[in-house]
Chain A
Amino acid sequence: MDLALVEAARSGDEEAFASIARGYADRLFVVAHRILRDVGRAEDAVQQTLVTAWRELPALRDTERFEAWIHRILVNACYAEAKRASKWSANVVVLPVDGPASRDTTQDVVIRDALDRGFRRLPTEQRAAFVLHHYLGWSVAEIAENLGVPAQTIKSRIRYATSTLRAGLDADARTTSLTSRERMA
């Protein structure tokens, strides 16, 4: 991260902020998409994040904390976006339609589908903690500090998310196993 750019943007330099935004947009988008599981909503969340970051940047005390700060704004934007979306969308899950596949590929698809279905059932706060931990590789302490949430809360969110996803995977595995045995019989 170019601290000089952040400093310039903080002083009102729009071009400097545009450079930062261009550099960060994709990174923020990937995180938002993993949390929201929807391209349009992820883009909306990132747009809101960039606008908020620009507006509030003069209040950022420590420019070295910019990355953590903008991710915090992003996560809050994802919460807002998910809340907005839940008012309008029906809970429809589109299952992937795949052609013939090898056994391993089929297994992968089954696992990913189970994870996807389980993840969509999670509250957004648990999704965010799970993504920050498993995708960005942040520790519980880092997530807690960056989001301004107690570490114990983050730990619980990750634990609940993990157990929900694992339960979904286990249920799918049992169903698959049962179906295979019925076919064999």
Chain B
Amino acid sequence: MNDNDFGLAARAWLDDGPTRMSDRAVLSALEQIHTTRQRRALRPTWRSTPVSIFARVAVAAVLVIAVGLVAGNIVRRQPDLPSVGGSPTPSPTAVSTPSPSPSASPAAHVFPALSSTFVSPTNGFTFGYIDRGGLKTAKELWDPVTQPRPDNTGAHDEPFDVVETGYSAVFKGASTVIPDGVSIDAWVDEYLWPRACGIPRSEQADITIDGHSGKIVECANHIEGTVVAGGRLYLFQLLHRRSDARAFFDAFVATIKLTPEDAAAPTSTPSS
């Protein structure tokens, strides 16, 4: 084999292999970035013009004055602090609120057609999806009472049908039998959240999925919709890093058909 043949063989061999990173891995990286602070440069990496001694002294003087003002302000506020006990008084406005995704311009809502139809073998629903990033079907029935809560890392996803869309978003859904006699909102709040940005289900926005009234909450990097049909609670989630995530979620929701009669029967009813 001459050099040329070797080069061609090596190139062909290197070309052969996966070319896409899973959405989940990208999302996981972005989650880490979200909690990672940038290391700020201690001094500017470049300076276009030299700074005179006078300017440096002026800046230093301004800084000294600013520090003095802040210190004086703190001293003046001391009497307002609680005099007994160490714990600060909680602010009455310290209620966590969802941070919805920034709305994007309509031009950003360019989605591929959800041309493939997925029929869940266990969860009793169908939806359209994009056959691009991969699809994983649920490996077990969902029981939020006894199973760990799903998170954005993909851990505890066994009861979920999961679509890696290939568009910086993962769509997943599951359903479970609702125990007799429970309040849906209270039950959801107890066993599914506080993932939903801490918003109780009763205070979440309304959504309609396949003609059934449900609730939706938009958090920073995920959207969650819940709906009840045929005695089952359905949960649909979109984990994402898209500015137009709500429109993306709605595109999926528009294709959902709830078929509780087709859901796999649990071996035992979840305890309440």
Residues of A within 8 A of B (CB): 12, 14-15, 17-18, 21-22, 25-26, 28-30, 33-34, 39, 42-43, 46-47, 50-51, 54-61, 108, 111-112, 115-116, 130-131, 134-135, 162, 165-166, 169-170, 173
**Are B241 and A30 in contact, CB atoms less than 8 angstroms apart?**
no
Residues of B within 8 A of A (CB): 1, 6-7, 9-22, 25-26, 28-30, 32-34, 36-41, 45-46, 168, 241, 243
**Are B17 and A14 in contact, CB atoms less than 8 angstroms apart?**
no
Best-buried of B6, B9, B14, B18 by chain A (most CB within 10 Å): B14
What are 20 A-B residue pairs whose CB atoms fall within 8 Å in the complex?
A: A12-B38, A21-B26, A21-B33, A25-B26, A26-B19, A26-B21, A28-B21, A29-B18, A29-B19, A29-B25, A33-B17, A34-B17, A42-B21, A51-B36, A56-B38, A58-B39, A59-B41, A111-B9, A115-B13, A170-B1
Contact of B11 among A18, A51, A116, A135 (CB under 8 A): A135
Rounded to whole Å, the gap between the CB of B194 and the closest CB of chain A is 23
**Are B10 and A134 in contact, CB atoms less than 8 angstroms apart?**
yes
List residues of chain A with CB within 8 A of the CB of B32. 47, 50-51
List residues of chain A with CB within 8 A of the CB of B21. 25-26, 28-29, 42-43, 46
Best-buried of B37, B40, B45 by chain A (most CB within 10 Å): B45
Q: Which residue of A lies closest to B1 (CB)?
A: A169
**Are A18 and B30 in contact, CB atoms less than 8 angstroms apart?**
yes
**Are A166 and B19 in contact, CB atoms less than 8 angstroms apart?**
no
Rounded to whole Å, the gap between the CB of A95 and the closest CB of chain B is 15
A41 to B71, CA, bound (A): 51
A17 to B22, CA, bound (A): 18
A135 to B33, CA, bound (A): 29
Contact of B25 among A47, A54, A166 (CB under 8 A): A47
**Are B11 and A61 in contact, CB atoms less than 8 angstroms apart?**
no
A57 to B22, CA, bound (A): 24
Contact of A18 among B15, B20, B25, B241 (CB under 8 A): B241
**Are A135 and B36 in contact, CB atoms less than 8 angstroms apart?**
no
List residues of chain B with CB within 8 A of the CB of A55. 36-39
**Are B39 and A56 in contact, CB atoms less than 8 angstroms apart?**
yes
Rounded to whole Å, the gap between the CB of B180 and the closest CB of chain A is 44
Rounded to whole Å, the gap between the CB of B97 and the closest CB of chain A is 19
**Are A135 and B39 in contact, CB atoms less than 8 angstroms apart?**
no
**Are B38 and A21 in contact, CB atoms less than 8 angstroms apart?**
no
